[in-house]
Amino acid sequence: MSVLDDQRLLLDTHVLFWLLTGAAELSSADIRTAIERASEREALFISAISAWEIAAMEGQGVLRFSITPHEWLTQATTTPGIRTLDVDPSIAAEAASLPNPFPGDFIDRALVATARRLNCVLLTADPGLLAYADRGYLRATGIG
C-alpha cells in the first residue's frame, strides 16, 4: 500500500503528457499504480490550465501530435478516470497570493493553487515545485 493510495492526485502538465503518451519518464510502477488507483476512485485530476499549456507548446513547436491539438486535448480531457478542474475565481485568487519566492510561472501558480485549494497531492518532476513543497507550501510527490 502506497502513501498516495488515499490521496486526491493532481497531475502537472508534463505528467499528464507522459501518462497519455506512455513516456518512459513515467515508468515507476509505484507512481503508475497510484495513478491507476486514484483514477478508479475518481480522485485523479488535471487542471484546465494544462490544456492551455499543451496547446501553447504545440503552437510553439515544442510538442508535435499526429492529430490536431484540439483532438488531442479532447481525448486528454475525456479520458475515463481523469477529471478536469477549472481555474475558478478562488483558485485564481490563491494563485496570485502564494507565498514568495515562487519558483515558477503563472501556469505553475495555477497548478499549485489548485492543489492547495482542493487538497490534492501534485505529481510533478519540477525541481522548483518539489523544493516549494519541501518548504511546506504544497503537498507534492516527485516523479522520475
What pLDDT shows up at residue 85?
95
Q: Does some domain include residue 113?
A: yes
Q: What does the DSSP 8-state code read for residue 25?
A: G
Is pLDDT at 24 greater than 60 in this prediction? yes
Q: Please state, in angstroms and rounded to a whole number, the distance separating the CA atoms of residues 13 and 78.
A: 16
- Mean per-residue pLDDT of the chain: 92
pTM of the predicted model as reported, rounded to 2 decimal places: 0.93
Q: Does some domain include residue 1?
A: no
Q: What does the pLDDT average to over 38-53? A: 94
Instruction: Count the domains in the chain.
Output: 1
Residue 117 burial (C-beta neighbours within 10 Å; 0-12, 13-18, 19+) = middle
Give the CATH number, domain containing residue 131: 3.40.50.1010
CA dihedral 59, 62, 68, 74 (to 10 degrees): -100
